[in-house]
Amino acid sequence: MKFRFNVALLPLKAFSLFSLLVFQLFLGCAGGKNICDNNVRANKREIKTLEELRSAIDENFSDSSFAHAHWGVLIQSLRTGQVWYERNSDRMFNPASNNKIPSASAALVTLGPEFTFKTELCANGMIADSILKGDLVVFGNGDPSLYSHFQKDPRDLFKHWASILKAKGIKHVTGNVIGDDNSFDDNSIGYGWSFDGLDAWYSAEIGPLQLNENYVDLTIFPPKDLSGSVKIEPNIPSSYYKIINRLSVTDKGRNDINVTRAYGTNNILIEGTVVAGTNPVVESPSVFNPTLFYTTVLKEVLQSEGIKIDGSAVDCDDIEGWKHSINDFLILDEHNSPALKEIIKEMMKRSQNLYAETMTRILGLKEHKLGSFKNGKKVVEKVLSGFGIEPGTYQYMDGSGLSRYNYISPRELVKILTAMYKSPYWEVWRDAQPIAGVDGTLKNRMKGTKAEGNVRAKTGTISNVRGLSGYVTTADGEEIVFSFLVNGHLRTSLDTEKITDKALTLIAEFQRDNVNIVKQK
C-alpha cells in the first residue's frame, strides 16, 4: 500500500511542522554526513570485518534457489595468500569455458606473447611466360586471425596473394589450389563435444587453415512489408556452401529463425519466420572441412582478381600419397599473424572456442612435431605441473571447455591464476581478461557497482554449468583472486550471475580500517 500526504488537508500548525521536517531533510541531504546517508546506511548492511564479509558471501552462495545445485568457490588474497572464503574448493567441477584458463596460460608461458602463426603460399612447378605450370600450395599452422576482428575483410590476405602473384608475373595457374593441413592431425572436433551443436559457429571444426573462424556470417534482412522477400547476405560469398531459404514472412509476433547444417554437408537450411519491417539478424553456421573451404575461397578470390586457374580447390588429404613439406616448393609469400598476445585477448574476451583448440594444437606442433590434442595436452600438463598442479588431479579433455569430460577444482584454477599473476606475463594476461561492465563477455554485467571496471575474469557457460574465475580489487586496494563454479543447476544464466556478481560487488566494496596486512611467503 502506498501512502500520500495531501498538504491541503493538514491543519496550519501541522502544516508548519511538516514543512519544517521537509526543510530539515532537504538541508541534511545537501550536506556531507547527512540524514540521507544515514538512512541509506540504515537500510544497507555494513561490512567492516573479514568475518562479516565471509558471512555475507556464505549467505549469498546459500541461496535456496540453488539448493539442488553444486557450488565450488575459492576466494583468496593475492597480497597475503589468506583464504577469505571457500566452499567445495577441492571438489571436481566441469569448468565450461573456464577451461580456456589452462589453455591460454600454457600457450602464453610456452610460446611467449610475441609468437606468430605462419602461413606460406608456395608454387609447385615452373614459372614461365606469366604461367605457373603446376599448383599453388598453402601450408598453415593454425593462424585463426583471418577474421573481421583482425582485418576489415577476412579475404584480405587472399587479395594480397593475388597482388603477389601478379608482381611475380603469374597470371595463369595450370594446376590446382592445394591446402596442406598435415601440421595438425585429422581430428577436427573435440572429444566429448555435443553432436547436435556441430553446425553452430561455437563448435567450428579445427584445422591448420582457418578462414572466417571456419563458419559463415549470414545477415538475414526481413522485407519492409509482406509484399517483399527475405534477403540473405553472407560475409564470405562462395560456391562452397549452399543456402536453402525456407523462411516465411509475417507482420506480427517475433522472428523465429532456425539454421541447421547436416553433418558432413555444406547445405545450410534456414527455416522459420521473420517479421516484416524488423532489424536484420545475423546467424553463423559452421562449415564442413575448413581446409577445402579455405582453398575454394582462395581460388575464387584469385579468379576475381584476374588470375586464371585451370584446376580445382583441393584438400591435400584427397591426393593419394601426398607427403610433401614446404621445403619441396618455391615459397611465394610468408604471412605472419598478429602476435599471440592479441589473439589470446580475442580468445579470452570473446570466449572463442576455435582459438582455444588451436592453442592446444600449436603447442603439440611446436613441442612434439604434430598438432594434435594429445600432444598439446602433454604441454599443458607440463606447464600446470610447474604451477603446482599435478596430472591426475584434474581432467583436461579439450582446449575450449565444450567437452563434458573436463573436470577441475576451484583451487586448481586459482593456482593457475595466481601463477600468472606472479609471472613475467602478468600485464598481458591481465589485459586479456574480460572487464566487468566494459568489454567481452562481461560487458553488460556489474554495471553501476564497485565491481564495474574492476573485475577481470573469464566466464564459462554450457547447459547446467556456469563459471567465473579471475581477479577483483577491494576498496582499500587489496588484490583478490577467485574461482566460482556451479554444476547441475536448473536455473537461468541470469540467476547464476546474480549470485556471482553480488559476491564480487561485496568484495569490491569491502574496506577494513587500520589493518596491517603482511605478505605471506
Grid coordinates of 505: 560487488
CB 464, CB 490: distance < 8 Å: yes
Grid coordinates of 521? 611467503
Q: What is the mean pLDDT of residues 234-240?
A: 98
Residue 136 buriedness (CB in 10 A; 0-12 / 13-18 / 19+): buried
Q: Are 245 and 231 in contact (CB under 8 A)?
A: no
Q: Which pLDDT value is given to residue 34?
A: 38
Inter-CA distances, 170 with 313, 326, 515, Å: 18, 20, 73
Q: What is the model's pTM?
A: 0.89
Flag whether 395 is in a domain: yes
Structural domain of 365:
50-113+342-509
State mean pLDDT over 101-121: 98
Shared-domain flag, residues 362 and 495: yes
Q: Residue 24 falls within a domain, yes or no?
A: no
- Is 271:258 a contact under the CB 8 Å cutoff? yes
Together in a domain, 360 and 481 = yes
| Burial (CB count within 10 angstroms: exposed 0-12, middle 13-18, buried 19+), residue 263 | exposed
Read off the pLDDT of residues 176-219 as tens digits, 9 standing for 90 and up: 999 999 999 999 999 999 999 999 999 999 999 999 999 999 99
Within a domain: 145: yes
Interstrand relation of 242-250 and 256-261 (parallel, antiparallel or unpaired): unpaired
Residue 43 has pLDDT above 50, yes or no: no
User: 10 Å Cβ neighbour count for 476?
Assistant: 11
Side chain identity at residue 297, one-letter code: V
Of 321, 338, 355, which closes a domain?
338
In a domain, 173, yes or no: yes
Classify residue 55: in a domain, yes or no.
yes
pLDDT top residue among 411 and 24: 411
The set of cell numbers assigned to 166 is: 601478379
Mean pLDDT, the chain, whole residue set:
91
CA distance 350 to 12: 65
The confidence band for 431, taking pLDDT boundaries of 50, 70 and 90, is very high
| Band of residue 271 on the pLDDT scale cut at 50, 70, 90 | very high
Mark whether 369 and 227 lie in a shared domain.
Answer: no
Helix ranges (DSSP H) in 3-99: 12-30, 35-43, 50-61
Cell numbers 608461458 correspond to what residue?
109
Identify the pLDDT of residue 512: 85
Q: Binning pLDDT at 50, 70 and 90, where does residue 39 land?
A: very low
Do 152 and 169 lie in one domain? The reply is yes
Q: Is the dihedral of CA 144, 149, 153, 157 positive or negative?
A: negative
Tell me: do 503 and 382 sit in the same domain: yes
**Per the domain annotation, does 226 fall within a domain?**
yes
User: β-pairing, 308-309 with 172-173?
Assistant: parallel
Instruction: Answer whether residue 9 shows pLDDT above 50.
Output: no
Nearest to 290 by CA among 366, 367, 358, 195: 358
- Whether residue 324 is found in the same domain as residue 402: no
pLDDT band at 516 (very low <50, low <70, confident <90, very high): low
Q: What backbone phi and psi angles, to 5 degrees, belong to 465?
A: -135, 135
Whether the CB-CB separation of 173 and 311 falls below 8 Å is answered with yes
Torsion sign (Cα): 123, 125, 131, 135: negative
- Grade residue 46 by pLDDT with cuts at 50, 70 and 90: confident
Please give the average per-residue pLDDT across 275-294, as a whole number. Answer: 98
Between 249 and 31, the higher pLDDT residue? 249
Write the CB contacts of 364 (distance below 8 Å, at least 6 apart in sequence).
370, 371, 372, 373, 374, 375, 376, 377, 378, 379
d(CA 70, CA 106): 28
Query: Domains in the chain: how many in total?
Result: 3
Same domain for 302 and 271: no
Given a cut of 70, whether residue 380 has pLDDT beyond it is yes
| Residue 305: pLDDT over 60 | yes
- Parallel/antiparallel/unpaired status of strands 70-77 and 83-87: antiparallel
Residue found under cell 612435431: 369
Same domain for 391 and 327, yes or no, is no
Helix, strand, coil proportions of the chain in percent (round to 5)? 35, 25, 40
Does residue 256 share a domain with residue 156? Answer: no
pLDDT of residue 31 exceeding 70: no
Per DSSP, 114 falls in state T
473: which strand partners?
A: 479
Q: Per-residue pLDDT averaged across 399-421, rounded?
A: 98
**Same domain, yes or no: 139 and 235:** no
> Is 376 exposed, middle or buried, given 0-12, 13-18 or 19+ CB atoms closer than 10 A?
buried
